[in-house]
Amino acid sequence: MNEILKLHYVVDGNNFSLAGQAASDVKKMLKTLGMAPDVIRRVSIAMYEGEMNMVIHADGGEIDVDVTPKAVVMRLADRGPGIADIDLVMQEGYSTAPDDIRALGFGAGMGLPNMKKYSNDLKIESQLGIGTTITMRVDINSRG
Amino acid sequence: MKIAEIACLLQAQILCGQDAMDMELETAFGSDMMSDVLAFSTERSLLLTGLLNPQVVRTAEMLDICCIVFLCGKTPGEFIVELAEEKGIALLLTKHGMFSACGILHANGLLEGANLE
Ligand SMILES: Nc1ncnc2c1ncn2[C@@H]1O[C@H](COP(=O)(O)OP(=O)(O)OP(=O)(O)O)[C@@H](O)[C@H]1O
Ligand SMILES: [Mg+2]
């Protein structure tokens, strides 16, 4: 696959303050690679939203990022509760975030719609009680 | 508008980012929902928020937002200020609430920083 870079992160589900560190690190790495600002921006936002969801809804998880000459692919896997109705959670404004999370500025129900908007492809695989894996691809040479 | 001018208009205290004061901004976005900021804010806007937690700084970082205004005199903790310093983001603290802070900046020429279709 001609990989330029492979990154792996373990996301702690119990530390809200540190959440977003993986997205921050990926952003820094892509900058170092000299990637186009628009691509960096889309990867950063999509990954940050996914990482926050892992922390807020799924007790953490693991993220793999593959950078190839054509695209940045992010795979976010958790062992959280799973998602029962994928069409429902993709709706803008749908959120099950509890009040304490809302008080922290999350729970607008915009995260997954954002992830879809900023990536060229978003795939959700989920099984109730087992976990969720979200794969996002941001193409390097086309706009999403 | 220079960040220094924004600080002056809002009678704001500069918590960090002294060396960014000459930076020019044209737009601002005000919100207490970070996902709305991520969904709608244009890059390099000013962010005005009543929210106080590290994710405000991380959200700004993802969008290349270089200045955050904390409203209502609510002072962010040390961890937030340190994180902003590390990311090169200027932090201002004003006693104004969201409504008047936005009103003052809008009246002085800053434009809406939301990408609304
Ligand atoms: N990894 C996950 N595991 C289980 N459920 C999830 C996961 N990610 C999202 N969800 C569910 O999908 C809903 C919508 O997610 P989305 O990111 O769009 O909004 P939110 O996280 O609730 O709020 P926001 O992202 O605006 O802060 C969540 O409230 C939650 O019920
Ligand atoms: Mg979310």
Within-domain flag for A113: yes
Domain of residue B24, CATH code? 3.40.1390.20
In this predicted structure, the answer to whether residue A143 has a pLDDT above a threshold of 80 is no
pLDDT in tens, A104-135: 999 999 999 999 999 999 999 999 999 999 99
| Domain span including residue B44 | 3-110
Burial class for A101, CB neighbours closer than 10 Å (0-12, 13-18, 19+): middle
pTM over 0.90: yes
Q: Domain for residue A144, yes or no?
A: no
Residues at Cβ < 5 Å from ligand 2 ion: A 53, 111
Residue type, A51: E
The dihedral over CA atoms of A97, A101, A102, A104, expressed in degrees to the nearest 10, equals -150
Dist. CA B42–CA B115, nearest whole Å: 6
Give residue A106's domain range: 5-139
What is the reported pLDDT for B25? 97
The domain tally of chain B equals: 1
pLDDT (tens digit per residue) in A45-66: 999 999 999 999 999 999 999 9
Residue A85 burial (CB count, 10 A): 10
pLDDT of A114: 94
Q: How far is A115 from chain B (nearest CA, A)?
A: 9
Asked if B8 reaches chain A (Cβ–Cβ under 8 Å), the answer is: no
ipTM score over 0.85, yes or no: yes
Which pLDDT score, from 0 to 100, does residue B81 have? 98
Nearest-atom index, ligand 1, CA of A95: 29
Condensed to tens digits (0 to 9), the pLDDT of residues A73-103 reads: 999 999 999 999 999 999 999 999 999 999 9
**Is the Cα dihedral B61, A116, B113, A142 positive or negative?**
positive
Kindly state whether residue B116 falls inside one of the protein's structural domains: no
In a domain, B89, yes or no: yes
- Ligand 1, atom 23: nearest CA belongs to which residue? A107
Name which of A12, A17, A90 to mutate to probe chain B: the one with the most chain B Cβ atoms within 10 A of its Cβ. Answer: A17
What pLDDT does A144 receive? 44
What is residue B44's predicted lDDT score, i.e. its pLDDT?
A: 86
Q: How many domains does chain A have?
A: 1
Q: In CATH, what number is assigned to the domain containing residue A14?
A: 3.30.565.10
Which of ligand 1's atoms lies nearest the C-alpha of A54? 1
Mean pLDDT of chain A: 94
Ligand nearest the Cα atom of residue A61? 1
By CB neighbour count within 10 A (0-12 exposed, 13-18 middle, 19+ buried), where does A113 fall? Answer: buried
Average pLDDT, chain B: 96
* Residue A131 belongs to a domain: yes
Tell me the average pLDDT across B26-48.
93
Residue scoring higher pLDDT (A60 or B116): A60
Q: Which residue of A has its CA nearest to B77?
A: A17
B32 to chain A nearest CA, in Å? 6
